[in-house]
């Protein structure tokens, strides 16, 4: 066995299957596309389920990949065991109805023994107990002795997902790592849970379809799906103890130790922290590169949890400053060659890591303060157990680790209700699971279109808005397939070719007309459906349309051009934002229609007015510069060399469209665009706001819609000018003059009010009575709000010098109540807060306050008289 690095093993595997006529595909993103059953890609075959089910045509009958995957089901074991990891790389080769067991079994043995050089006497094979075909190929064709072939049951060697769909037996290849890794039991063999026999390659023979009744129907074309854990085979080839010791992970691990000053293998507890950080920073880096952003839901929650868990363990190792971004650079150094998106998105990844790490430390401090409040509250009520609900709030809202809670509570002689905490955790997991819809094997809602077995639709709309002689392949009436659509029917038409753009890449579908000799169909939308077909949805305006008829498809020119202007403007906006805000800006979503454009982008604070004006100016400058817009169809590598930006969430094949606006913008895009930036006409930003953590949204207008906006603004300006008896040119000066006059009038009014209030004070004071030797004043004052009432109370109290005031102000049917007492009267037992608590309810209100000052609100004016009498009774009682 020759030592091989992770990178060497990855390349050797892919090259081996390329030589077996497999098409090498790059790894799919971690975020699944059109698959509601998965939160994140968790297996090498997961992104290709549509190929296995026949919903999509694979790019080749034989494919090989190294797929990045994420699994978080055993996150608590990461760093504790030698086997668990959140992110892993799965080497795989796939046959879509091409070859089967007779080919893959000998190939796998050839790769293991001849290419990797694994000793044959160290290799063991398991097969499904009923799979005689695989057993015989291994034994008779490959020559594996029977004592090294193990028949295992369905739980170990049969692959199926969900209640229905493709499934089949599998065969696994094991490596014997030696007795030192074993459990020592006499029964230790293939299938044992100990570390001795390591399963590193699983060959899945997808030959059945599991039906609704639980039966297994043979597939017409069986498939091959194999998966070899790159980390596992690296452990074997590098002869190390665990995946944390292979070259890539050790490199990250060493950087963790360098940043913390910790010497690895000095402490079991600290070693776990080092391994957790090593694993999590790798997963976080890959998730961020694939467009996942930290938040409190779904995959964003997975990312935030991993990131915060790593940051917390950094604190435990004594790292007291931000370190995740620095550590991330090491991840990119080791994996950037195989995954170029890590290098391309480096600035963006580092920015988000730093912002989120700082945010965590802030929330950690907030959580610590809240935990101390809980401790004081429980202690005052003679309790010493933190409830699961409070513990979960600290964990979920503030990212406060359970282990840290336990540690602090122990110091305070407190305990925690862990059973209740786990219940809250499971409740949240259940909510997360239920948010993923119950779906079929592919995770896509089964629609009427899945049953339509026709050719894919050819899109001809880049260069044509009208296409004649289209064949009507299928019709849908409501939610059923039909041969005919008649006047008034709502449904969909599927054509063999079309000029209509189907909604994708954030651009809405076209509308227009489909006509035959006997009918007219108004298209209101166009969408891509199963099998590459385009569904033109709408309503029959007149006549009848039938399957197999010839039709003419016409896109509405006005709306298509408006959509094109908006789509091209998003490319200009994207580049302008990066110029003004920085290279961390990435498109996080967009929607383009004929009416307006919406553009989501990664940024961490609101844009200033100056930045908005700057971005708007850059876009309009490019519009007015009349740059040519060129579209090139080329291979993905050539596109990258041209500097084309790939967008998050978009799926690109080997052949891509590059939309280039001279030297200003170059992006990969399948949408429709203007021929020259001058056709955009005008660009106007309407709003900029946050939509989630780290994501901002801009809404904007172009062309005729932008012109209509300015026209409306002009009309409003003229209306305002007329109301102010001015002209649009002079309305600002006129407004300033009016405001200045208003300020002067207010000052005069305040003076008059102050003068009048002096007279009112004397009048009110005359209403004072004496109770138990002190002056008590209760009064109702009309047209007085709370602020005025407080000021009035201060003036009366100053003149009164000694006594109690209970004032009721009435304005627009609302009541304000103020109770105030001088210090000498408070010393005699008067408490304003207690007075108002009993008085306010008589007016339909409530309030409170201190001994010398209290206030309340009310709504029942008819209760004021009773409240005034009640106040006198309470004052008398307090004095007695």
The CATH number given to whatever domain includes residue 225 is 3.30.930.10
760 domain-assigned: no
Handedness of CA 597, 603, 605, 611 (dihedral sign): negative
Residue 41 falls inside a structural domain: yes
* Residues 360 and 231 placed together within one structural domain of the fold: no
Residue 746 belongs to some domain of the structure = no
**Residue where a domain terminates, one of 496, 523, 555:** 555
Give the domain CATH number at 504.
2.40.30.130
| Residue 512 sits in the same domain as residue 590 | no
Structure tokens at 406: 């336990």
E strand or H helix that includes residue 210: strand 197-210
- 675 is a domain residue: yes
Do 227 and 331 have their domain in common?
no
CATH number at residue 780: 3.10.310.40
Residue 357 sits in the same domain as residue 408: yes
pLDDT at site 263: 95
Residue 428 lies in a domain: yes
Closest CA to 554 of 495, 593, 511: 511
Considering the domain architecture, whether residues 604 and 540 belong to the same structural domain is answered as no
| Same structural domain, 173 and 25 | yes
- Same-domain status, 395 and 476: no
Phi, psi (rounded to 5 degrees) for 701: -125, 155
Over the stretch 29-68, which tens digit does the pLDDT of each residue have?
Answer: 998 877 777 889 988 888 888 888 777 889 999 999 999 9
CA distance 275 to 270: 9
Query: What residues make up the domain containing 79?
Result: 6-241
CATH number, domain of 584, equals 3.30.980.10
In this prediction, the residues of the chain whose per-residue pLDDT falls under 50 are: 435-446
Output the CA–CA distances (angstroms, integers) from residue 267 to 245, 247, 252, 317, 733, in the order listed: 17, 22, 18, 11, 75
8 Å CB contact between 183 and 192: yes
CA dist list (Å): 571 to 92, 129, 680, 682: 36, 57, 12, 14
Residues 22 and 169 placed together within one structural domain of the fold: yes
Q: What is the pLDDT of residue 439?
A: 43
pLDDT at 758: 59
- Residue burial 83-113, b: 16+ Cβ < 10 Å; e: rest: bbbbbbbbbbbbbbbbbbbeebbebbbebbe
Residue 748: per-residue pLDDT: 84
């Amino acid at each position: 066995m020759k030592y091989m690095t992770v990178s060497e093993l990855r390349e050797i595997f892919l090259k081996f299957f390329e030589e077996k006529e497999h098409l090498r595909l790059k790894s799919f993103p971690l975020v699944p596309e059109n698959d509601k059953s998965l939160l994140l890609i968790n297996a090498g075959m997961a992104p290709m389920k549509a190929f296995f089910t026949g919903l999509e045509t694979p790019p080749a009958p034989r494919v090989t990949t190294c797929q990045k995957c994420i699994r978080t089901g055993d996150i608590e074991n990461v760093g504790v065991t030698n086997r668990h990891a959140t992110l892993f790389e799965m080497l795989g080769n796939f046959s879509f109805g091409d070859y089967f067991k007779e080919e893959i079994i000998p190939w796998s043995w050839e790769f293991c023994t001849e290419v990797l050089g694994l000793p044959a006497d160290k290799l063991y094979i398991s097969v499904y107990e009923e799979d005689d075909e695989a057993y015989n190929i291994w034994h008779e064709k490959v020559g594996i002795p029977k004592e090294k072939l193990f028949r295992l049951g369905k739980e170990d060697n049969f692959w199926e997902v969900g209640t229905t769909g493709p499934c089949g037996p599998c065969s696994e290849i094991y490596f014997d790592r030696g007795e030192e890794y074993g459990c020592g039991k006499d029964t230790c063999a293939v299938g044992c849970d100990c570390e001795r026999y390591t399963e590193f390659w699983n060959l899945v023979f997808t030959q059945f379809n599991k039906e609704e009744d639980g039966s297994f129907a043979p597939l017409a074309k069986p498939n091959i799906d194999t998966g070899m854990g790159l980390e596992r085979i690296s452990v074997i080839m590098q002869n190390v103890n665990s995946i944390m010791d292979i070259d890539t992970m050790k490199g990250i691990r060493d950087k963790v130790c360098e940043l913390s000053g910790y010497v690895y293998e000095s402490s079991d507890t600290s070693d776990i922290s080092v391994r957790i950080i090593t694993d999590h920073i790798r997963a976080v880096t890959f998730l961020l590169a694939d467009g996942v952003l930290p938040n409190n839901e779904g995959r964003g929650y997975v990312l935030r949890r991993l990131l915060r868990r790593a940051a917390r363990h950094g604190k435990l190792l004594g790292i007291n400053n931000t370190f995740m971004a620095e550590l991330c650079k090491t991840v990119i150094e080791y994996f950037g060659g195989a995954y170029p998106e890590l290098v391309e998105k480096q600035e963006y990844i580092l920015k988000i890591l730093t912002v989120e790490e700082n945010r965590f430390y802030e929330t950690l401090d907030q959580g610590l303060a809240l935990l101390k409040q809980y401790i004081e509250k429980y202690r005052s009520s003679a309790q010493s157990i933190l409830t699961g609900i409070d513990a979960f709030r600290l964990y979920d809202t503030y990212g406060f680790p359970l282990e840290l809670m336990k540690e602090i509570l122990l110091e305070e002689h407190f305990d925690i209700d862990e059973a209740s905490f786990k219940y809250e955790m499971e409740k949240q997991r259940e909510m997360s699971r239920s948010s993923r819809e119950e779906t079929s094997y592919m995770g896509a809602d089964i629609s009427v279109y899945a049953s339509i077995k026709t050719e894919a639709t050819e899109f001809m709309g880049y260069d044509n808005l009208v296409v004649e002689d289209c064949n009507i392949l299928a019709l849908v009436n409501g939610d059923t397939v039909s041969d005919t659509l008649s006047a008034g029917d709502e449904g969909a038409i599927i054509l063999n070719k079309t000029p209509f753009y189907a909604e994708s890449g954030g651009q809405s579908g076209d509308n227009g007309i489909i006509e035959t000799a006997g009918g007219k169909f108004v298209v209101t939308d166009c969408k891509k459906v199963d099998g590459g077909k385009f569904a033109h949805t709408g309503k029959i305006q007149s006549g009848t349309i039938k399957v197999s008829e010839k039709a003419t498809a016409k896109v509405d020119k006005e709306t298509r051009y408006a959509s094109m202007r908006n789509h091209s403007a998003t490319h200009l906006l994207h580049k302008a934002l990066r110029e003004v805000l920085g290279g961390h800006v990435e498109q996080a979503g967009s929607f383009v229609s004929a009416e307006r454009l919406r553009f989501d982008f990664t940024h961490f604070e609101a844009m200033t007015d100056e930045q908005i004006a700057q971005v708007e100016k850059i876009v309009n400058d490019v519009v007015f510069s009349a740059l040519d817009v060129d579209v090139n169809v080329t291979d993905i590598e050539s596109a990258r060399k041209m500097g084309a930006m790939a967008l998050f969430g978009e799926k690109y094949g080997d052949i891509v469209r590059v939309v280039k606006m001279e030297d200003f913008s170059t992006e990969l895009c399948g949408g429709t665009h203007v021929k020259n930036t001058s056709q955009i006409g005008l660009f106007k930003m309407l709003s900029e706001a946050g939509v989630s953590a780290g994501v901002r949204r801009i809404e904007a207008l172009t062309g005729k819609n932008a012109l209509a906006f300015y026209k409306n603004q002009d009309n409003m300006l003229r209306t305002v000018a007329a109301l102010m008896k001015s002209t649009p040119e002079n309305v600002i000066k006129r407004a300033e003059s009016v405001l200045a006059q208003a300020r002067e009038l207010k000052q005069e009014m305040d003076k008059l009010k102050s003068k009048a209030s002096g007279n009112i004070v004397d009048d009110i004071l005359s209403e004072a009575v004496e109770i138990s030797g002190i002056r008590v004043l209760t009064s109702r004052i009309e047209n007085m709000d709370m602020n005025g009432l407080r000021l009035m109370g201060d003036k009366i109290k100053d003149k009164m010098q000694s006594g109690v005031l209970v004032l009721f102000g009435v304005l627009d049917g609302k009541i304000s109540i103020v109770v105030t007492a001088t210090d000498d009267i408070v010393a005699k037992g008067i408490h304003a807060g207690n007075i108002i608590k009993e008085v306010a309810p008589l007016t339909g209100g409530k309030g409170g306050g201190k001994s010398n000052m209290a206030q309340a609100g009310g709504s029942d004016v008819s209760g004021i008289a009773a409240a005034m009498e009640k106040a006198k009774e309470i004052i008398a009682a307090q004095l007695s």
